[in-house]
Amino acid sequence: MARDELRQMYQWVRPRIAIPTHGEPDHMRAHAELAREDGVPRQLAGRNGDLFMIAPLPGMRRGAVPAGRVGVGENGLQPCDPPPGTIARPGGSSASEPLEGRL
pTM (2 d.p.): 0.62
Residue 56, preceding peptide bond in cis (omega within 30° of 0): yes
User: pLDDT truncated to tens, each residue of the chain (103 aa)?
Assistant: 688 999 999 999 999 999 998 888 899 999 999 999 999 999 998 888 888 998 898 888 988 888 777 888 888 888 786 666 655 555 554 444 444 444 4
Are the C-beta atoms of 43 and 37 separated by less than 8 Å? no
Name the residue among 29, 24, 31 with its Cα closest to residue 3.
31
Which positions ≥6 away from 36 have C-beta within 8 Å? Answer: 43
pLDDT at 1: 63
CA 69 to each of CA 10, 38, 47, 51: distance values in angstroms, whole numbers, following the listed order: 32, 34, 13, 17
